[in-house]
């Protein structure tokens, strides 16, 4: 008993030595220290601009002149009353849907094809990534030759068939299609590679088992690949939502003025921010729109997350039920 008491005493003495304390702190705090660079960077590069934008949005603020009077929510009210805000909101959603939906579907399909045992695998895989490497401005320059109203390649073809040319820079839907095409050209391959990476992680025995059971390629794709890709699908949809709602380069480069058309046919919200901030030099209003865009993105991202989880989840459940049935 005395030895036990001495031991306890010795232990408690040892507990307060500096090195012991340090090693305890090490265990407790080091992990936070290790992940802190990201959060410090995020605070400086992400959180601060976000809050500063909010600060700017409640002031009169000139691009060059700087801060003016505090005006409360007046900038938000003014912006929400502008027809161009609503036009650009419509355009943003339209271009987002026209780009993101086909993009994700095409990316899964391309990834599925690349997942087969093709000859020259690396060549094909690098090939789909190639458009991603091209700068968006260069993409826009190339595509502008295709989508010229009068002397563009597509319209030349259409006119030689004796049909009416498509007014890419005048009508709303054609301009959105053209811009969505540029976006898709750039991002489909990138997303395909992400899907491909996830597909390669699917255990091959599942497919073997399914094929032995008589499932064809399409069936294995729908019943095995897609459900198992669930987290990646959610990831890709989230990132392409965030990107899709912030399309700027392609829309800005679509004509030489860069304001999204004479009637704002293809002005996106980011272009609208640019017009307010740099064209009219009204940073207060530009920041108000930026914050509205931020809120919209959050809402859409949450909606997306819930919906895709439900869809992918139900497919997943089906798979599990089926798997139970098999066993």
Contacts with another protein by CB under 8 A lie at 63-65, 78, 82-84, 144-145, 148-151, 167, 169-170, 255-259, 262-263, 265, 278-282
> Residue 316: exposed, middle, or buried by beta-carbon count in 10 A (0-12, 13-18, 19+)?
middle
From the centroid of its chain, how far is CA 313? Answer: 21
Nearer to another protein, 240 or 267 (CB): 267
Longest CA pairwise span in the chain (Å): 107
Q: Which two tokens stand for residue 158?
A: 């259409």
> Coil, helix or strand for 132?
helix
Closer to another protein by CB, 84 or 291: give it. Answer: 84
Compute the least distance from the CB of residue 83 to another protein, in Å: 7
Q: Which is nearer to another protein, 131 or 165 (CB)?
A: 165
Least Å from the CB of residue 124 to another protein: 26
Burial (Cβ within 10 Å: 0-12, 13-18, ≥19) of residue 148: middle
Q: How far is the CB of 248 from another protein (least distance, A)?
A: 13
For 93, 192, 240, 254, 279, the CA distances from 247, given in Å and listed in that order, are 10, 20, 10, 12, 18
- CB closer to another protein out of 188 and 268: 268
How wide is the angle at C-alpha 239 spanned by C-alphas 202 and 289, nearest 5°? 170
Comparison of 155 and 308: residue with beta carbon closer to another protein: 155
DSSP category for residue 46 = I
How is 76-92 classified by DSSP, letter by letter?
HHHHHT-HHHHHHHHHH
CB of 307 to another protein, least distance (A): 36
Residue at token pair 């019943």 = 223
Shortest separation between residue 102's beta carbon and another protein, angstroms: 26
State the nearest-atom distance from the C-beta of 43 to another protein, in Å. 21
Nearer to another protein, 102 or 258 (CB): 258
């Amino acid at each position: 008993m005395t030895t036990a008491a001495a031991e306890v005493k010795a232990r408690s003495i040892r507990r307060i030595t500096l090195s012991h304390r340090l090693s305890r702190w090490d265990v407790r705090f080091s992990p936070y220290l290790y992940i802190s660079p990201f959060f410090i960077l995020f605070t400086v590069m992400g959180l601060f601009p976000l809050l500063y934008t909010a600060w700017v949005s409640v002031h009169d603020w000139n691009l060059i002149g700087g801060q003016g009077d505090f005006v409360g929510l007046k900038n938000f009210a003014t912006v929400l009353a502008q027809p161009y805000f609503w036009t650009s909101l419509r355009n943003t959603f339209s271009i987002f849907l026209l780009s993101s939906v086909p993009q994700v579907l095409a990316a899964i399909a391309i990834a599925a094809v690349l997942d087969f045992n093709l000859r020259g695998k690396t060549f094909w895989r690098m090939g789909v990534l190639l458009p991603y490497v091209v700068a968006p401005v260069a993409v826009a320059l190339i595509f502008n030759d295709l989508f010229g109203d009068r002397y563009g390649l597509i319209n030349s073809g259409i006119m030689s068939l004796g049909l009416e040319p498509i007014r890419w820079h005048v009508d709303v839907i054609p301009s959105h299609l053209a811009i969505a095409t540029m976006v898709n050209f750039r991002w489909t391959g990138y997303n395909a590679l992400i899907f491909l990476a996830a597909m390669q992680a699917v255990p091959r025995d599942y497919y073997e088992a399914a094929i032995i059971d008589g499932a064809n390629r399409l069936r294995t794709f729908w019943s095995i690949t897609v459900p198992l890709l669930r987290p990646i699908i959610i990831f890709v949809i989230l990132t392409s939502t965030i990107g899709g709602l912030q399309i700027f380069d392609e829309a800005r480069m679509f004509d030489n003025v860069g304001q999204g058309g004479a009637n704002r046919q293809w002005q996106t919200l980011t272009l609208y921010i640019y017009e307010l901030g740099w064209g009219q030099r009204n940073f207060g209003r530009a920041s108000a729109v930026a914050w509205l865009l931020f809120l919209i993105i959050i809402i859409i991202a949450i909606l997306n997350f819930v919906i895709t989880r439900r869809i992918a989840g139900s497919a997943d459940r089906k798979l599990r039920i089926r798997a139970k049935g098999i066993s």
